[in-house]
Amino acid sequence: MPETVKHPFYGVLLMLLALFFFAALDATSKHLLLTFALPLLVWARFTLHCLLMVVFLAPSMRSKLLATQRPLIQVVRALLLLGVSLFALAALRLMPLAETTAILYVTPLLVVLLSGPFLGEKVSVLRWVSVATGFAGALLIARPGGALSGLGILFSLAAALCYSVYQIQTRQLSTTESAVTMLFYTALTGTVAMSLALPWFWSGPVPSPLEALLIASLGIFGGTGHYLLTRAFRHTPASTLSPLMYVQLIWATLLGWQIFGQLPDHLSILGMLAIAGSGLSIAVSDRRPPRRALRAEG
């Protein structure tokens, strides 16, 4: 029996706060990348996230935290999220925060394209138009002759592709698996994989106390953001919250301006609006009941 939605406005506030934490995670990572190796930061992000879940959830959930009917897909899904983190940080090292975030938000458009072969869903004409508009917006941001790094653009697109397959697998697992268990597998798999790889990539100076605190904040920002996101969906329907995801573009633009002094140019802003508009169009179309259902009700 689905849980009754009790405080929709509270859920919206939690969503906005979660998106701020995600933007803060990216901004802090971009700042730390000036000094520290990328694998170290990814390791810290997953390890602190994993430790938080163990401390706060393991005492009550115990073995349920690891209980799953599809362990292989859980691990593959977690490795995809690890790929998202690696590619996204590589892009952030080369590009401004707002533009990187905007290109990552072509993910919903890729999910629409992949939902046919992976999930057997039909793609309507409206969705095809939305996808084309969104990709046109991405081309405005990544336009030839622009100021953005070509390698950074490739990294951000690779992150978006990984994230889209990750979301497809999330849909496939959500019918049988607990959301908390899925979240724990992503944290645990990322921690194990990066812990094994870290000795091969360790380089750079020893962090100062302040830098160590900033590195630790990556796991706190990520873990808290995902926790708030989960709580938001308990209070407010997904159809209401999904369009709000693009508020992260606003947070990213503000943080990029305040911390790094970087603002998108006019064409990039137009591209960001096109991506957000196409994503919102897809989110709104998801809220509409099928035509057959409407006819049956009539």
Contact 76, 128 (CB under 8 A): no
Average pLDDT over residues 177-183: 86
Contact 290, 120 (CB under 8 A): no
Tokens of 125: 């004409």
* Domains of the chain: total: 1
Its sign, for the CA torsion 204, 206, 209, 213, is: positive
In a domain, 63, yes or no: yes
In a domain, 80, yes or no: yes
What pLDDT shows up at residue 2? 42
In a domain, 19, yes or no: no
What pLDDT shows up at residue 226? 78
The mean predicted confidence, pLDDT, of the chain is: 85
pLDDT tops 60 at residue 282? yes
In a domain, 87, yes or no: yes
Please return the burial class of 4, using the count of CB atoms within 10 Å of its CB with bins 0-12, 13-18 and 19+: exposed
- Residues of the chain above pLDDT 70, percent: 91
What pLDDT shows up at residue 286? 60
In a domain, 292, yes or no: no
What's the rounded Cα separation, in Å, for the pair 43 and 52? Answer: 14
- Closest Cα partner for 275 from 130, 114, 123, 120? 130
Phi-psi region of 261 (alpha: psi -120 to 50; beta: other; left: phi over 0): left
In a domain, 32, yes or no: no
Q: What pTM did the predictor assign? A: 0.84
Q: Which whole-number Å values give the CA distances from 208 to 25, 36, 239, in the listed order?
A: 19, 12, 44
pLDDT tops 90 at residue 232? no
- Rounded to the nearest angstrom, the gap between the alpha carbon of residue 58 and the centroid of all alpha carbons in its chain is 24
Phi-psi region of 203 (alpha: psi -120 to 50; beta: other; left: phi over 0): beta
188 three-class SS: helix
What's the rounded Cα separation, in Å, for the pair 253 and 99? Answer: 8
- 233: CB partners within 8 A, 6+ apart: 11, 241
What pLDDT shows up at residue 111? 84
In a domain, 249, yes or no: yes
What's the rounded Cα separation, in Å, for the pair 55 and 36? Answer: 27
Please state which of the ranges 120-124, 152-156, 211-215 shows the lowest mean pLDDT.
120-124
Contact 85, 48 (CB under 8 A): no
Reported confidence tier of residue 236, pLDDT bands at 50, 70, 90 = confident
Its sign, for the CA torsion 160, 35, 149, 141, is: positive
Average pLDDT over residues 116-137: 81
In a domain, 9, yes or no: no
pLDDT tops 70 at residue 231? yes
pLDDT tops 90 at residue 253? yes
What pLDDT shows up at residue 24? 95
For residue 65, the enclosing domain spans 39-287
Q: How many CA atoms lie within 13 A of 197 on its CB side?
A: 17
What amino acid occupies position 259? I
What pLDDT shows up at residue 272? 92
